[in-house]
Amino acid sequence: MKNLIVFGCCLYFLACKTEKKKEALPISVTETSSIDYASGFDIQASGDLTIISVSSPWPNANEPYKYALIPKEKLAVITLNKDEFDAIIPVPVESMVVTSTTHIPSLESLGVLDKLTGFPSTDFISSSKARKRIDRKQIKELGNNEAINTEMVIELQPDVLIGFGINDQNKAYNTIQKANIPVVYNGEWTEKSPLGKAEWIKFFAPFFRMEKKADSLFEEIETNYLKAKELVQTSTKKPTVLTGGLYKDVWHVAGGDSWMAQFIKDAGGQYLWEDNADSGGLSLSIESVLAKGQNADFWLNPSMLTTYQDVQSANAHYTQFDAFANKKIFANTLATGETGGLLFYELAPNRPDLVLKDLIHIFHPELLPNHQLFFFKPLN
């Protein structure tokens, strides 16, 4: 009996000694992904580990968020210090919840729309493929982003929730994280350059291990954008451009360092507030806008107005602008999805090449005579 006990102990310790131990992964960067335009995130690799750092989840964020993505087949041999990361996600993910319509086109382009299982305010989604999945109850309605239905999210048990926020005070996200569902912030909306926003498709790719496909998709968009921009250099005309409209007696125009201002510049237009340094919007009086923009050649995005009759009825002062008299007003609110979602606010960040071609066709029709307007349409 004594010999049997000794023999058993030997077998036990031998098994423990030969058991495969988890590998303690040193976090040393071996590769950095090429991010050429976006300033709000970066992707690094350390062996099999992918690290996504989001430095700008919202304007003036104090600290970056850091996420670790581990291949599922390596989970047994990789250990991490959880305190170093805001979330650790096994990849590829099989189910995802996103919270902004601008996230939808990235999933669709990568061919992983079937992994989307929930979304807040599904009526805002314009994608026809996504709408079919909504109709089949394959994408669940989750309330709205400010008060997302946490019970439904927890019931769905997605592998990850891609969050959109203006700060870190979203209590719903905290509840979801406590249920062991990783929340990863996406800050594409903080980017000021058109190609910078579009490059966030590379942010989504590692969750599905589709980095090469994302690189290829973005390269095509980048090439189209730069070719269109180069085409404008052949024109000597620079038509003047006014943006925005009144809301409660305040005229909101795009700032001179904004996304829209960059589009106008790249399309060969002269934005009347191009010398302004704001990356968001400006709040002005109608008198100051009239003084500066009455003779503007083009007027883009007159609030939510879609016809010249609407413009005239909204405010008699609107009729004093040359762009009204010359029927040179174009809006990005006429292209809508099946349930009224605005296509521009969903797809334009992902397809800046189409936005640029629209504006070139409007400002310089001779340069792209066969282009069919996609986002911007003339008022009825």
Per-residue pLDDT at 207: 98
Number of other residues whose CB lies within 10 A of the CB of residue 52: 26
C-alpha–C-alpha distance, residues 203 and 321, integer Å? 43
C-alpha–C-alpha distance, residues 328 and 212, integer Å? 42
β-strand pairing of 245-247 with 250-254: antiparallel
Per-residue pLDDT at 21: 44
Per-residue pLDDT at 16: 46
Burial of 310 (0-12, 13-18, 19+ CB in 10 A): middle
Contact between 179 and 154 under an 8 Å Cβ cutoff? The reply is: yes
- Non-local (6+) Cβ contacts of 112 within 8 A are 208, 210
Per-residue pLDDT at 82: 87
C-alpha–C-alpha distance, residues 373 and 365, integer Å? 11
Per-residue pLDDT at 166: 86
Going along the chain from its start, the domains and CATH numbers come out as 24-221 (3.40.50.1980), 233-378 (3.40.50.1980)
Q: What is the pLDDT along the chain (380 residues), one digit of tens a residue?
A: 444 444 444 444 444 444 444 445 555 556 677 899 999 999 999 888 999 999 999 988 989 999 999 999 999 888 898 899 999 999 999 999 999 999 999 999 999 999 999 999 999 999 999 999 999 999 999 998 778 999 999 999 999 999 998 888 889 999 999 999 999 999 999 999 999 999 999 999 999 999 999 999 999 999 999 999 999 998 999 999 999 999 988 999 999 999 999 999 999 999 999 999 998 899 999 999 999 999 999 999 998 999 999 999 999 999 999 999 999 999 999 999 999 999 999 999 999 999 999 999 999 999 999 999 999 999 99
- Give the gyration radius of the chain's Cα atoms: 25
C-alpha–C-alpha distance, residues 55 and 86, integer Å? 13
